[in-house]
Amino acid sequence: MKRLSALLLVAILVFSTTFPYMAQENTINHEEQLYLPLHDYLVARFGEDFVENHNRSMEIAMNLYDLFPTTRTGEVMYPNDFAGLFIDCNGNLVVLVVEDKDTPVAINSLVGNIRGNSDILMMSASFSYNELMALLNYLGDSLFDENSVYDMSNVTAMELDVINNTVVVYLLYYSYDEIVNFQNAIINSPMITFRQGDVAEMDICLDFDNSLSLNYEAANFEPLNVSSFSIHPGQRIYLMRGSVLVSSGSVGFRATRAGRVGFTTAAHLGLGDVAGTLRTGDIIVDSLRRHVGTVDTAQLNRYDTAFVSLAPNVFMTNSVYTATEGAVLPQTRPNIIGSLVIMDGSTSGRRNIGIILTTTWLGNIGSGGVSFPVNNIARASVPAQPGDSGGIVYSYLQANHIPLFGVNGMVISKFASDGSNDVLFTRVENVLFIFGMTLQ
């Protein structure tokens, strides 16, 4: 087992936040790559060494999480000396440990019981994962507290930064005085890092041909007279009210709820309309004007997710690429910082790849004159575009083992420091829990 010095720790923190190494010998163009088996596609993008390291690290991390005890309600009980883990830019798994004489060295003994533990890099950290999450939960309560003594409109977001062992608070107006005001009013903690942050703005996809509009009355709408057809994750869908297309988005994953088969998508597809969100009874159609399904339920605040019951003549599988390679599988363990994440969306298409930046992000999302809070969702550096919202987010371990990470809730702009778009996605375990759904 390898132990790193404090100096090496700093070096890894700098490089681990970068995107994985891109393969130099790549003579296959992107369009051709899309038809490769997913493993071959990733090797063509990042090189065989990184993909093998990454997949091994994912397996080891999941084996480690399996050793953590849980409560009767399924909540994970992390050891007091565990400070988190992540995958670095070379695909190696890094486990952070709080070395304190008053803290039992529980994580070291757990790591020793894992097959392949010699491939784990152990690093020292100052604060435990439990301490950081307790602080973030406290700050989250303050963020959504209308009676807070601090002007929380100046806080654009908060997130857990596992790599740097800190909780980040993003301030719109960033100055020494504002930091002191926050510390005096809310809390002054060495676990907090303050950074400049813009309001996370979300773009709604309204760019489509209204000739797709159907003429029907909501009370007696009948779908087009078509034979049975199928849909797939990432496919384009449209919200229609009256005879007007309101906005478009993407199909998520197939699930059942209260005996009804359907799929997930983003609740904010309705933000192009005065209602501000999808609502029960909304009609969803595809690009051929076919009735795909009807909105069963939606929750904009906190999770930005909706469930659409499939129309009787519509079929769906959870296959995310070629039919010969398998379907997505439920991912119930925590997502891993630095791991590859893949998004299928209707605007960007298939296999848009980035890395998970944080698994715990909370803040207020703005879209024109509309804003809404989200809480305990993940942020990833996927190059997404308006219209991808609602699509599927997944990863890769090996053939026929495709972990499902969640539903691509929204594409946010201005928030990322490099000016690019990020995606926020609701983790699949939260989606299944809040709607009482079962993955199909």
Euclidean distance between CA atoms 110 and 345, whole angstroms: 39
pLDDT score at 25: 40
What letter represents residue 186's amino acid?
I
- What is the C-alpha to C-alpha distance for residues 111 and 116, in angstroms, rounded to an integer? 9
Predicted local distance difference test score (pLDDT) of residue 237: 92
Would you give the end-to-end CA distance of the chain in angstroms? 40
The pLDDT score that the predictor gives to residue 8 is 30
Residue 185 has a pLDDT of 92
Q: Is 215 exposed, middle or buried (0-12, 13-18, 19+ CB in 10 A)?
A: exposed
14 has pLDDT over 60: no
The 8-class DSSP code of residue 90 comes to: T
- In sequence order, the β-bridge partners of residue 295 are 308
Q: Rounded distance, CA 147 to CA 138, Å?
A: 15
pLDDT at 334: 67
Q: What architecture does CATH give domain 130-197?
A: 2-Layer Sandwich (3.30)
pLDDT given at position 83? 92
pLDDT band at 1 (very low <50, low <70, confident <90, very high): very low
Identify the CA nearest to 159 among candidates 421, 363, 365: 363
Residue 375 has pLDDT above 60, yes or no: yes
Residue 28 has pLDDT above 70, yes or no: no
33 and 349 in contact (C-beta within 8 Å)? no
pLDDT, the chain, mean: 76
CB atoms inside a 10 Å sphere around CB 135: 19
Q: What is the per-residue pLDDT for 64?
A: 85
CA distance 395 to 397: 7
- Of the segments 113-122, 285-294, 402-411, which one has the largest average pLDDT value? 285-294
Strands 254-257 and 437-439 come out as: antiparallel
CA 152 to mean position of chain CA atoms: 24
Give the model confidence (pLDDT) of 263-320 as tens digits: 999 888 876 555 567 889 999 998 887 889 999 998 887 788 899 999 988 988 777 6
pLDDT at position 425 is 82
Q: What's the pLDDT at 421? A: 67
Contact (Cβ atoms closer than 8 angstroms) between residue 378 and residue 213 = no
Mean of pLDDT values over 355-360: 86
Q: What is the DSSP secondary structure assignment for residue 47, as one 8-state letter? A: -
* Residue of 284 and 43 predicted with greater confidence: 284
Percentage of the chain beyond pLDDT 70 is: 71
- 222 pLDDT higher than 80: no
What local confidence, expressed as pLDDT, does residue 195 receive? 92
> Using CA atoms, how far apart are residues 235 and 392, in angstroms rounded to an integer?
10
Q: Do domains 130-197 and 198-440 have the same CATH topology?
A: no
pLDDT confidence tier of residue 33, bands split at 50, 70 and 90: low
Paired tokens of 344: 């299928």
Higher pLDDT, 438 or 237: 237
pLDDT for 176 equals: 95
Residues 6+ apart with CB under 8 A from 416: 381, 422
- pLDDT recorded at residue 412: 59
- Which tokens sit at 440? 């199909």
Of the listed ranges 95-99, 156-160, 396-400, 432-436, the least confidently predicted one is 396-400
pTM value?
Answer: 0.81
Mean pLDDT of 213-228: 45
Check residue 390 and give left, alpha or beta (phi > 0: left; psi -120 to 50: alpha).
Answer: left
Dihedrals phi, psi of 404, to nearest 5 degrees: -90, 125
Say which range, 112-121, 143-152, 161-170, has the weakest mean pLDDT: 112-121
**Residue 139 Cα distances to 119, 145, 175, 187, 338, angstroms:** 36, 10, 19, 8, 24
Ramachandran angles phi, psi of 302, nearest 5°: 75, -50
Residue 50 pLDDT > 60: yes
Model confidence at 132, pLDDT cuts 50, 70, 90, reads very high
Write the DSSP symbol of residue 319. B
89 contacts 16 by C-beta, under 8 angstroms? yes
Q: What pLDDT score was predicted for residue 367?
A: 57
The burial of 88, by beta-carbon neighbours within 10 Å (0-12 exposed, 13-18 middle, 19 or more buried), is given as buried
Give pLDDT, residue 122: 87
Per-residue pLDDT, 212: 43
Domain positions in the chain are 2-126, 130-197, 198-440
Does 90 or 40 have the greater pLDDT score?
Answer: 90
Phi-psi map region of 168: left, alpha, beta (phi>0 left; psi -120 to 50 alpha): beta
Q: If we measure between CA atoms, which residue out of 266, 267, 277 comes closest to residue 388? A: 266
Topology given in CATH for the domain delimited by 198-440? Thrombin, subunit H (2.40.10)
Least confident range of 53-62, 67-76, 207-216, 284-293: 207-216
Write down the pLDDT at residue 215. 35
Largest Cα span, the chain: 72
Residue range 367-391: mean pLDDT, rounded: 76
The rounded percent of the chain whose pLDDT value lies above 90 is: 20
Predicted local confidence at residue 311, as pLDDT: 92
Distance between CA 183 and CA 304 in Å, rounded? 31
Q: How many CA atoms are closer than 13 Å to the CA of 264, on its beta-carbon side?
A: 40
Mean pLDDT value of segment 406-413: 62
**Residue 142 backbone phi and psi in degrees, to 5:** -70, -35
